[in-house]
Amino acid sequence: MLASTVWLSTRAMILVAVILSALGIASLVGFLLSRRETMGVDSALVRRYNQKLRVWWLMTAIFVFGFLLQRIGVVVLFGFVSFWALREFITMTPTRRGDHRTLFWVFFVFTPLQYILIALGSHPPSYVPQNDYYGLYSIMIPVYASLFIPARAAIAGDYKRFLERSAKIQAGLLICVYALSYAPALLDLQLVRTGGEPWRGSNVSVLIFLVVIAQLAAVLERGWSKLAGRHVIAEKINGSRTWEGVLGSMVTTGLIAAALSWATPFYPWEAGVLAAVVTTMACGGAMTMSAIKRDRGVTDTGTLVQGHAGVLDQIDNICFAAPVFYHLTRYFFSA
């Protein structure tokens, strides 16, 4: 049984239109700021703002293209993003010759297999019970792949920094593939409103809601840290992230999520609580990536747009938020 009777509901299309309108207004503001150097705004800040907008336009265009290809298109899209992000993660952390065959399994077996199971989630064969694929894709990487990776690396016979190398590959697969795959898995949930009333909207709205809130959480956290930041979370990892920024982002994204709740099965207060959780996980993901980059001595994980960070830097917040958001939604709002 499909997660929804319609693919793109009217609410989903309105939500996309709202996002495109907001990006259009933000781009106009960026254009005006870049043309008026006498406004007292830091030119470097304006450049970074406009670079971020270009990334968002690119991400939006890719998502819209995926949505036009319907459910399988969205799953394939996230599969490619996971592959790209995992490549950046592994490139950032050097490997040895003994890891090459292990990485072959990681990139060309476990990564596509995870998304194949996601794609099959709502279309099991007649002899497979409904939702049985959830039981597979929810444990395939954290159990089977996590056991296979060190065993395959050991067979290669290279024992130098063995534990560090195995843990690095496992972490990359867990963050870039397993965690992110829960975003398209939202499309298969049979959603209901609190009280058991069936929800007649499209699950695409819920997926868009997650992505938008996770992205806004990161931006608003930086903004609040600059405006009201006093207490740095971890100065040696990232001196610009503060507790005030996280708290301000939780409140602000909660209010925005409540305003967007009409496009989801959540009541406004439920959307606000979920947004606060997403913000917490998004900030945790950003801090984790900052710690990894500090450890490896790199600034960005790659290059998506010239002068800006790579794919993994753009989606680290979604990677950490997606599995938590999925399981909260599945537990409280799924039939």
Asked whether residue 255 falls in the same domain as residue 331, the answer is: yes
Asked whether residue 239 falls in the same domain as residue 331, the answer is: yes
Asked whether residue 158 falls in the same domain as residue 255, the answer is: no
| Whole-prediction pTM | 0.87
Q: Phi, psi at residue 19, to the nearest 5°?
A: -65, -45
Asked whether residue 246 falls in the same domain as residue 101, the answer is: no
Q: What is the pLDDT averaged over residues 233-258?
A: 91
Asked whether residue 168 falls in the same domain as residue 211, the answer is: no
* Helix, strand, coil content of the chain in percent (nearest 5): 75, 5, 25
Q: Which helix (H) or strand (E) holds 288?
A: helix 268-296
Of 148, 170, 188, at which residue does a domain stop? 188
DSSP 172-186: HHIIIIIITTHHHHG
Of 168, 188, 208, at which residue does a domain stop? 188
Asked whether residue 39 falls in the same domain as residue 129, the answer is: no
Q: What is the pLDDT of residue 4?
A: 44
Quick one: pLDDT band at residue 1, thresholds 50, 70, 90? very low
Asked whether residue 14 falls in the same domain as residue 60, the answer is: yes
165 domain-assigned: yes
291 domain-assigned: yes
pLDDT digits (tens, 9 = 90+) for 134-164: 888 999 999 999 999 999 999 988 888 899 8
* The total number of structural domains that make up the chain: 2
Q: What is the pLDDT averaged over residues 255-261?
A: 95
Report which DSSP code applies to 192: B
DSSP 43-108: HHHHHHHHHHHHHHHHHHHHHHHHHHTHHHHHHHHHHHHHHHHHHHHHHHS---GGGHHHHHHIII
Asked whether residue 327 falls in the same domain as residue 212, the answer is: yes
Residue 323's nearest CA partner among 278, 280, 279 is 278
pLDDT digits (tens, 9 = 90+) for 53-107: 888 888 888 878 877 888 889 999 999 999 999 999 998 877 788 789 999 999 9
Cα atoms in the 13 Å half-sphere on the side-chain side of 297: 1
Yes or no: say if 186 and 203 are a contact pair by the CB < 8 Å rule: yes
Asked whether residue 62 falls in the same domain as residue 205, the answer is: yes
193 domain-assigned: no
Asked whether residue 233 falls in the same domain as residue 145, the answer is: no
Cα atoms in the 13 Å half-sphere on the side-chain side of 305: 16
pLDDT tops 60 at residue 15: yes
Of 154, 188, 222, at which residue does a domain stop? 188
Q: Which domain holds residue 114?
A: 75-188
* Residues 212, 330, 4: CA angle, nearest 5 degrees: 75
Asked whether residue 225 falls in the same domain as residue 148, the answer is: no
Mean pLDDT computed over every residue of the chain: 85
Asked whether residue 228 falls in the same domain as residue 134, the answer is: no
63 domain-assigned: yes
